[in-house]
A and B are shown apart, each in its own frame.
Chain A
Amino acid sequence: MSVKTKTISEKEGPHAALPRTAHVRSGRPVHVPAGTTRVVAALLRKELLVELRTLESVPGMSLFAVTTFVVFHFALNQSSVSGDEAAGILWVTLLFAAMLGVNRLFVADEDQGGFDAFLLAPVDRSAMLLAKALALLAYLLVLELVAVPAFGLLLLGPSLGQALPDLLVVLVLADVGIAVIGTLVAALAVRTRARDLLGPLLALPLLVPVVIGGARATSPLFGLNHADSPPARWLLTLGLYDLVFGLIAYAVFDFLLED
């Protein structure tokens, strides 16, 4: 991946990620770190480009989700589900598929020196958190683009169409939480000996509130009579969760990238 990182930075010019030099009145040059937005955009571009070229995470996640629906069909011995059951199957599948992406999120950076390269650049370290979380969010959205229609086709009894607008809100709110916690946990686990094991082990209990909120908000949408919209308190819980863990992740992430 180091090769790819290099090509990208060459494209953007040699000074893309370097500090701009500003002159103050004393005449001494003062280093101003490159704007965080630009750094995040560059890092995100790198992430998405690497994923597009290697196709390491997203196709696997999507395939895993579809296969899991088939497994659920046989394990539950049911050809269509609705209500609580449907919401549960969808959320368990999405969560476990997300774990695959979480496990791979930092592996390339750890194995091929991406961390070192990033630390050498005089940029805000939180940019890495933001870029990785946005990348994971993008992976999750693509995953759902495949998994949700597949779920509607294979398992869901009531039609998906009416539930879709409300479902989108719930999915996005939950995805933000999964992306934040996933990025934090991936960074914690990647430099340990048992990273494949520790990632899901850390992430699943932390994401239980997201599953509660997501599943409870979706189950009325998958009801047989389509009457209900998601209860506001669950959307509020999801939003609160995203906010709190977003801030916490921002506060502690720097400490994971020190050596």
Chain B
Amino acid sequence: MYGRGLRTLSIATVAVMGIALGLVFFYAPLEAEEGFLQKIFYIHVPLAIVTLCGFVIGGLLAIQHLRTREQRWDMRSYVAIHMSLIFAVGTLITGSIWARGSWGHWWVWSEPTLVSFLIVFLLYATYQPLRFAIEDPERQARYASVFAIVAGAFVPLNFLAVRLSTEYLHPRVLGSASNLPAKMQLTFLVSLLGIALLYATLCKYELTAKHTRKLLKARSKILGFR
């Protein structure tokens, strides 16, 4: 049931990612100040956006789970958060490389987005320890959903608080896509689409795998295999 459309989605992801990389390296102009290093922006920022959206979506799916009590919503919420965690590691690594390249330090406390991202990552890093410290599967799903909702609401509030706490030391030219030159903007949007598709595909793969494993377990039980 989860496997349907997986092939189309995978092919679309590979195609868009390919186009995005092509645009990044051959179409987008070199940035005047940072030069080639600025290219990491096309990976880093989409990764961050997709990660945060994934966390919030995980919260929304958790609301759906608590409303309907259907186990599949919990599974989707789990997969969304799990995949976002992996993407978050990627975001932190690429952000660190970028910071080292342009500011000379691996970690910069004056960049509010990076700092809030770390806090959100540290919070979500406790999702799995919490979840797997509960044995009863029904309660596990319920508690994980409560966590996902609270943490999902925490994401925007945390960004607000951290942004307030930092004076703007660095001009935020690259913070949003709105003030970019047209060529860069197009490249950025295609990269964002590519990363979003990658996220969706990986989520679908994980869901399919989990679903299939459960089905297999149920069938072998019927057939009497242990």
- A residues contacting B by CB (< 8 A) are 184, 188-189, 191-195, 197-198, 201-202, 204-206, 208-209, 212-213, 216, 233-234, 237, 240-241, 244-245, 248-249, 251-252, 255-256, 258-259
CB<8 Å pairs between A and B, sample of 30: A188-B130, A192-B133, A195-B133, A197-B129, A198-B126, A198-B133, A201-B129, A202-B130, A202-B147, A205-B120, A205-B122, A205-B123, A206-B151, A208-B162, A209-B157, A209-B161, A212-B162, A234-B164, A237-B164, A240-B157, A244-B153, A245-B153, A248-B150, A252-B146, A252-B149, A255-B66, A256-B143, A258-B139, A258-B142, A259-B138
Contact in complex: A188, B146 (CB < 8 Å)? yes
Assess A216 versus B130: contact at CB under 8 Å? Given A208-B119, A244-B157. no
Chain B residues within an 8 Å CB radius of A241: 157, 161
Contact in complex: B161, A191 (CB < 8 Å)? no
Contact in complex: A248, B158 (CB < 8 Å)? no
Residue of A nearest to B130 (CB): A198
Q: How many residues in B have their beta carbons less than 8 Å from beta carbons of A?
A: 31
- B residues contacting A by CB (< 8 A) are 66, 119-120, 122-123, 126, 129-130, 133-136, 138-139, 142-143, 145-147, 149-151, 153-154, 157-158, 160-162, 164-165
Chain B residues within an 8 Å CB radius of A195: 133
Chain B residues within an 8 Å CB radius of A258: 139, 142
**How far is it, in angstroms, between the C-alpha of A195 and the C-alpha of B151 when the chains are bound?**
18
Chain A residues within an 8 Å CB radius of B158: 208-209
Chain B residues within an 8 Å CB radius of A192: 130, 133-134, 143
A197: min CB distance to chain B, Å = 8
Contact in complex: B161, A201 (CB < 8 Å)? no
Choose from A216, A233, A240, A248 the contact partner of B153 (Cβ within 8 Å): A248
Residue of A nearest to B162 (CB): A212
Assess A212 versus B153: contact at CB under 8 Å? Given A194-B129, A194-B133, A198-B129. no
Contact in complex: A208, B146 (CB < 8 Å)? no
A185: min CB distance to chain B, Å = 9
Contact in complex: A255, B145 (CB < 8 Å)? yes
Contact in complex: B161, A237 (CB < 8 Å)? yes
Chain A residues within an 8 Å CB radius of B134: 191-193
